[in-house]
Amino acid sequence: MNPERRAQWVAVSAAVVAVACLGAVVLLGGDPEDTTVEAVQLTVPAESTTTVAPAPTAPAGPPAVERRLSKLRTISGDITPKSIVTSGTGVATAQNMMYTHTVTAYDADGELVATIPDRVRLSDFGIDKEGEFQGAPVEAAFLHDGSAVYVSNYSMYGPGFREGSDECSPSDGVPPSYLYRIGTDDWEIDQVVPVGAVPKYVAVTPDDERVLTTNWCTWDLTVSSTSDGRELASIELGRYPRGIAVSPDGRTAYVAIMGDTKVAVVSLDDYSVTWLEGVGLGPRHLVLSPDGRWLYSTNNKGGTVSKVDTTTGAVVADVSTGSQPRSMDISTDGTALYVVNYGSDSMTKLATADMRELDEVPTGANPIGISYDDSTGRVWVASYAGTIDVYDEVA
C-alpha cells in the first residue's frame, strides 16, 4: 500500500512537512473510455501547521538494493488478505475481504495482536441508518504516527445496501460505502467516513489532515477531513481509479486510472486535474521515490512496471516482472522496489536506479498486497489464498 502509505519526515525552515511514499483483482480489457474530467471544489483546508513525528530511518547497514530477501515466517489462520499495510511504528494490518469480515493486526514480528470485526452500528457515528451493518475491507492507510488506520470497505452489507461489482459505472446506482478508522491503542473503530461506491485505495496526506479514497464504481476521488470525516471534495477522474501516491510536500496526489493508460495529477491546493499520459496499460498501483522525482506504476493489463519522471511526464523505463503485477512498495532509502506478481505466485525486487531485477522469491498463492516496514526493513506479502509471508532483508 499506499497505497495506497508510508511517510518519511524531514525538518525544513520553521515548519515540518512530511514525505510520503505511498505507496483491481480483475484484468481490464477493451478500449479506454473517453471521460470528461470535472473537479468539484467543496472546501480547501487552510495551510497545515501540524507538527509531525521525526523521520523513520532505514535499517543500519547496506542500502536495500544491496540486501537479499530471506523468508522469516508465514502467517495463516482465518484470513483472506486483500492487502497488508505496515505502520512504520511496529504494527501491521491485513484487510480480509470479502466474506471474512475482519481486519487482523500484527506486531512487527508477525504475532497476532487483534482481530477487528467489520460490524458497526452506523447510527453510532451520526449516520442515519438504523441497525447493524458489515463491511468488506480492501485497503488501508495509517496516520503517520501510527495512532490509527483508515480501512476502505468494498461494499456494505445490511438494509439499504447491495454488493458492488468490479464491472460498473456511476449510472449503475451502486450504493456508496464507508471508510473505518481504527485506533491502534484499543483496536476499536472510532470513526466512519462516507465515500463513494466500491472504494478501493486509501492514502493519508503528509500532514495527516486529509484522507483520500478512490471509488471504483463512481469513478471519482473523495477527499475527506480526518478531524471529523466530512467530505472536502469529490473529483471525477474516469473509469476505474485505484492507486494513490501523495507528493512529499502534500500538494499533489497521483491517481492510477486502471481503465485507461494514464495517471491523474490532482492538485490538493485547488483540486484541479492534469494528466500523465501513456504510463502503461491499466495502471493499478503507484509509489513515489522519497524525493518525489520518480513515480512507479504497476500496469495490470500490460504486465509491466513503469518508471515515470514527474518533472517531465516521460516514461523512462517499462519492465516486466511476472504475470499480473499488482501491488508494490519501495524501500525507505528509495533504492529498491518490491512487486507482487498475482499470476506467478512470486515477488520481484527491482533496483530503482535502472529497474533491473535483483531477486524473485516464491510467495503464497495469488499474492496481492505488499508493504515495506520502515521500522524493521522487512517486507510483508499478503496472498489472497489465505497467507501472509514476512521476509527479512539481510546483508
The pLDDT of residue 57 is 58
* Tens place of pLDDT per residue across the chain (395 aa): 333 333 333 333 333 333 333 333 333 333 333 333 333 334 344 443 433 344 455 667 899 999 999 999 999 999 999 999 999 999 999 999 888 999 999 999 999 999 999 999 999 999 999 999 999 999 999 999 999 999 999 999 999 999 999 999 999 999 999 999 999 999 999 999 999 999 999 999 999 999 999 999 999 999 999 999 999 999 999 999 999 999 999 999 999 999 999 999 999 999 999 999 999 999 999 999 999 999 999 999 999 999 999 999 999 999 999 999 999 999 999 999 999 999 999 999 999 999 999 999 999 999 999 999 999 999 999 999 999 999 999 98
> Comparing C-alpha atoms, which of 377, 374, 365, 305 is closest to residue 81?
365
The pLDDT of residue 27 is 36
pTM for the model stands at 0.86
- Phi and psi dihedrals of 391, rounded to 5? -115, 135
Amino acid present at 329: D
> What CATH superfamily is the domain 6-394?
YVTN repeat-like/Quinoprotein amine dehydrogenase (2.130.10.10)
> In angstroms, rounded to a whole number, what is the distance separating the alpha carbons of residues 238 and 260?
8
**Domain coordinates of the chain in residue numbers?**
6-394
> In angstroms, rounded to a whole number, what is the distance separating the alpha carbons of residues 265 and 30?
24
Largest CA distance in the chain: 55
The pLDDT of residue 56 is 52
> In angstroms, rounded to a whole number, what is the distance separating the alpha carbons of residues 327 and 316?
20
- The grid coordinates listed for 286 are 503507484
